Structure 1
Amino acid sequence: MTNNQVSITIDSKKHTKDSINKSQVLNNIESSPIDSISKKKLFKLPKIPRNSSFFILLAILAESFIIYASVLVKLTDMSPINLGFYRIVLALPIFWLMANTRRNVFKIPFKDIAFMMLAGIFFAFDLLFFNIALRHTSVANVNLFGSLACFILIPIGIFFFKEKFRKSLLIGAIVAFCGIVVLIGGKGELSVATPFGDFMAFLSVLCYSSFLAVIYSLRKRYGTLEIMFFACIGSSLTLLVLALIFEGLEVPKDMKDFGIIALISLCGQVIGQGFFNYIMGKVNTQTSSLVLLFSPIIAALMGFFILGEKLGIFEICGICIILIGVYFAKKESC
C-alpha cells in the first residue's frame, strides 16, 4: 500500500468518525428533555376522572354547601316560606344567565318544561318543611331524616330506572344509618328536637327524594342549568303563593339580614343544589344516595363549630360507624 493510499484511508476513517460524532450530537439534541417534553403536548389538559369515587367526593363538597346553608337559616328571623322564596328567586337570574349561554332555554318542549317545574314544586315543599323543621329541631336531627332519602332512592332506582340491586349497598347503608342514630342519640337531653320538628323533617325528605328522582330522569336528556332554571321557576311560584296565603310577603329587615339570605341562596341553591344535580347525571341513584349518608356528619361538625352544639364521645363513635358503613356500601357497589 502506498503512502498516498494510507493517508486516504486515515482521512476517510477520520471523516467517518466525525460523521458519527456529529450524528450522535444531533441525536442528543433531538432527544433532549425539552424536545421530549414538547412531544407530550403540554397544551393538552388532563382528563377528569370518570369513576364514581371522584364524583362522590364532588357530591360531598356540594352537600357541604347545602348543609352550610341550613346552618345559616338559624341566623335569620325571616319566616320559613319567605326564606325559601328568596333563596330560589335570588338564584333564578344566575341559572338563567348561565343556561342561556348554551342554548335558548325556551325552545325546550313544553312537556319537558312542565316536568322540570314539577321537580321545582317538589323542591318548594321540601324547602317549606325543611325550614320549619330547622326552627323546631337541631341541624343534626334534620339531616338525620335527610339521610333517609338513601332508602327511598335505592328502590326508586331499582324499580323505575332498572338499576341492578346490590346487597352490599343496602347492608352498608343500614350500618351507616345505625351510626347516624348513635350520632343523634348521643345528644341526649341537650338536643333541641321536638316531635313536630321531626315530622316536618320527614315530610321534607319525602319531597326531596321525589325532587332528586325527577332530576335524575331529566339529566339523561338535559343539562343541569336548563333543569335548574325551570325548577327554580316552579319553586318560586309555589313558594310565593304559599307565602302570600300563610305569612304575607316579607322583606329583609336590614342589609345584614339580606346578606345572610343571599349567602343561603348562593351556597344552598346555586353551588350546592346546582352542583349536586350535575353529579346526578354522572352516577346512578344508588351511588348518589350514599352521599346523603354523610349529611349528619357534616351537619354535626358545622353545628359544633358554628352554632356551638354538643359533640361528644357518642357523636364521634356514630361518625366512625357511618364511615364504615359507607365504605362497605361503596366497596362493591360503585
Structure 2
Amino acid sequence: MNIIKRQNETRDILLELVAVAFLATGGIFVKFSALSPINTGFYRVLFSFPFLFLLAYKHLKQLTKKDVLILLIAGVFLAGDVALWNLSFSYTSVANANLLTNLTPFTVIPVSYFLFKEKIPKFFLVGAAITLFGVFVLISGKANPSTSNYFGDFLAFCASFFYASFLLIAYRLRDRLESSVIMFVSSFGSVTALFIFSLFVEGVQVPHGVEQLWPLLALTFCLQIVGHNLLAHCQGKINVNLSSILCLAQPAIASLYSFVIFSERLSIKEIIGIIIVIAGVYLVKAQYDEKEYNYKASIKNEDQIDEVSERTL
C-alpha cells in the first residue's frame, strides 16, 4: 500500500477550515429541527445517500470486503458522535457542544503517535496545550452555569471519543480511498445505528412539510455532504494531529454563530477563550510550516550535493 505524504499546505489548511465552518452550523439546524435529536441525526445521514452516491460511484471499485467492514464500523462511531452531539444541544449551548465534541486531540494525538508512528514537531505540544487551555477558558466562561449545562457538556465530551475514532479510521483509509467513498459507505453503518438508537430512545418519527424538512436538508448539505466529506478529503493532505487541532477552531466559529443567530451571550471570559484557541491553532500550524520548510530545504541541499558530485566526476 502506498502511504500518502501529507504536505500540510496552506491551501489545504484553509480548505479544512472551510469544512470546519460548515460543520459548526450543525448546532443551528439541530436547534431548528422539530424532530427529536437522534431522529434528526438519522435523517441527516439518510438524505445524504443520493448525493454521496453521485460523488462516489466511480470510485467504489477501489473497495475490498475488508474496507467495507471497516467503513461500516467507522459509520457506527460517527453515529455515536451524531447521537450524543445532537442530544447535548438540548442541555448546553451551541458553542460548548461544538467545543467539547472537538476535544479529539486527547484521543487522536496519542493514538496516531503509537499506532501510525506520526512524528510530532518540537513545539507541537506547546501549541496544542495553548489551544486546549483556550478551550477550558471558553467553557468556564458560562454566563449562567447549571446542572443541565454540565450534563450537556458531558454528552458532548463523550461524543468526542466517537468522533476521534471515526477520524482515525478515515485518516488511514484516505491513503487509498476517495473521501466520497469513505463517507458513502460509512453512512450505511451510521444510518443503521442511528435508526436503532432512535427506535429504542425516541421512537421513529417522520418529518412532514417544508418546515420540518428544511433543517434536515440543511444538516445533510452542510455537514454530511460538504463538512465531513471535505474534512475527509483534507485528511489525505494534512497530518492527522494538525487536522485534529484545526478542528478546535469549530467552537470559536460556533460561538459566533450562536451569538448572532440565537443571541447566546458571550462573556468576556468566553471571548478570551476564543482568542486563545485561535492563537494555539496558529502556533500549531506554524510548527508544521517550519517542519515542511526544513524538509524541503534538506531535499534541496541533497540535490545540490548530488549535482556537485556529478560535475566533479
- For normalisation by structure 1, the TM-score amounts to 0.80
CA distance in structure 1 between the aligned counterparts of 2:150 and 2:275, rounded to whole angstroms: 27
> Is 1:204 aligned with 2:159?
yes
CA distance in structure 2 between the aligned counterparts of 1:320 and 1:226, rounded to whole angstroms: 36
Match of 1:60 among 17, 26, 46: 17
CA distance in structure 1 between the aligned counterparts of 2:176 and 2:168, rounded to whole angstroms: 14
CA distance in structure 1 between the aligned counterparts of 2:280 and 2:49, rounded to whole angstroms: 37
CA distance in structure 1 between the aligned counterparts of 2:88 and 2:266, rounded to whole angstroms: 21
8 Å Cα contact 2:38/2:202 also seen in 1: yes
Seen in structure 2, the aligned counterparts of structure 1 residues 248 and 70 have a Cα distance that, compared at 3 Å, is same
Deviation at 1:66, TM superposition (A): 0.9
Instruction: Give, as a single letter, the amino acid of the residue that structure 1 aligns with 2:231.
Output: F
CA distance in structure 2 between the aligned counterparts of 1:62 and 1:213, rounded to whole angstroms: 17
8 Å Cα contact 2:45/2:224 also seen in 1: yes
Seen in structure 2, the aligned counterparts of structure 1 residues 51 and 193 have a Cα distance that, compared at 3 Å, is same
CA distance in structure 2 between the aligned counterparts of 1:54 and 1:151, rounded to whole angstroms: 26
Deviation at 1:180, TM superposition (A): 1.9
Deviation at 1:298, TM superposition (A): 0.4
Seen in structure 2, the aligned counterparts of structure 1 residues 54 and 200 have a Cα distance that, compared at 3 Å, is same
Deviation at 1:285, TM superposition (A): 0.7
Partner of 1:92: 49
Match of 2:209 among 235, 254, 258: 254
Q: Could you list the per-position Cα deviations for residues 137-158 of structure 1 after superposition, in whole angstroms to 9, with x for gaps in the alignment? A: 1111112212311222111221
SS of structure 1 residue aligned to 2:119: coil
Match of 1:83 among 40, 55, 61: 40
CA distance in structure 1 between the aligned counterparts of 2:61 and 2:286, rounded to whole angstroms: 42
Deviation at 1:186, TM superposition (A): 2.4
SS of structure 2 residue aligned to 1:210: helix
Partner of 2:282: 327
Instruction: Give, as a single letter, the amino acid of the residue that structure 2 aligns with 1:64.
Output: A
8 Å Cα contact 2:55/2:180 also seen in 1: yes
Tell which deviates more after alignment, 296-305 or 312-321.
Answer: 312-321
8 Å Cα contact 1:146/1:292 also seen in 2: no
**Pairs within 5 Å for 1:198-277:** 198-277=153-232
CA distance in structure 2 between the aligned counterparts of 1:180 and 1:244, rounded to whole angstroms: 34
8 Å Cα contact 2:72/2:187 also seen in 1: yes
Tell which deviates more after alignment, 182-191 or 210-219.
Answer: 182-191
Deviation at 1:107, TM superposition (A): 6.6
Match of 1:148 among 79, 103, 115: 103
Partner of 1:307: 262
Tell which deviates more after alignment, 143-152 or 169-178.
Answer: 143-152
Deviation at 1:106, TM superposition (A): 5.9
Gapped regions of structure 2 (runs ≥ 5) = 1-6, 290-313
SS of structure 2 residue aligned to 1:188: coil
Partner of 1:27: none
Q: Could you list the per-position Cα deviations for residues 278-329 of structure 1 after superposition, in whole angstroms to 9, with x for gaps in the alignment? A: 1011111111012122111101100101111112422222222222222222
8 Å Cα contact 2:143/2:265 also seen in 1: no
CA distance in structure 2 between the aligned counterparts of 1:191 and 1:265, rounded to whole angstroms: 32
Partner of 1:19: none
Q: Could you list the per-position Cα deviations for residues 221-247 of structure 1 after superposition, in whole angstroms to 9, with x for gaps in the alignment? A: 111111111101111111112222222
CA distance in structure 2 between the aligned counterparts of 1:326 and 1:51, rounded to whole angstroms: 14
Deviation at 1:251, TM superposition (A): 1.0
CA distance in structure 1 between the aligned counterparts of 2:190 and 2:102, rounded to whole angstroms: 22
Partner of 1:169: 124
CA distance in structure 1 between the aligned counterparts of 2:226 and 2:112, rounded to whole angstroms: 25
Deviation at 1:179, TM superposition (A): 1.5
How many residue pairs match? The answer is 283
CA distance in structure 2 between the aligned counterparts of 1:108 and 1:320, rounded to whole angstroms: 43
Report sequence identity in percent: 37
8 Å Cα contact 1:181/1:318 also seen in 2: yes
RMSD: 1.7
Match of 2:65 among 88, 110, 121: 110
Q: Could you list the per-position Cα deviations for residues 207-263 of structure 1 after superposition, in whole angstroms to 9, with x for gaps in the alignment? A: 000000000111111111111111011111111122222222111143111011111
Deviation at 1:119, TM superposition (A): 0.7
CA distance in structure 2 between the aligned counterparts of 1:147 and 1:141, rounded to whole angstroms: 10
Deviation at 1:65, TM superposition (A): 0.7
8 Å Cα contact 1:136/1:192 also seen in 2: no
CA distance in structure 2 between the aligned counterparts of 1:187 and 1:194, rounded to whole angstroms: 9
SS of structure 1 residue aligned to 2:33: coil
Tell which deviates more after alignment, 271-280 or 106-115.
Answer: 106-115
CA distance in structure 1 between the aligned counterparts of 2:151 and 2:181, rounded to whole angstroms: 36
Match of 2:144 among 177, 189, 198: 189
SS of structure 1 residue aligned to 2:123: helix
CA distance in structure 2 between the aligned counterparts of 1:332 and 1:227, rounded to whole angstroms: 29
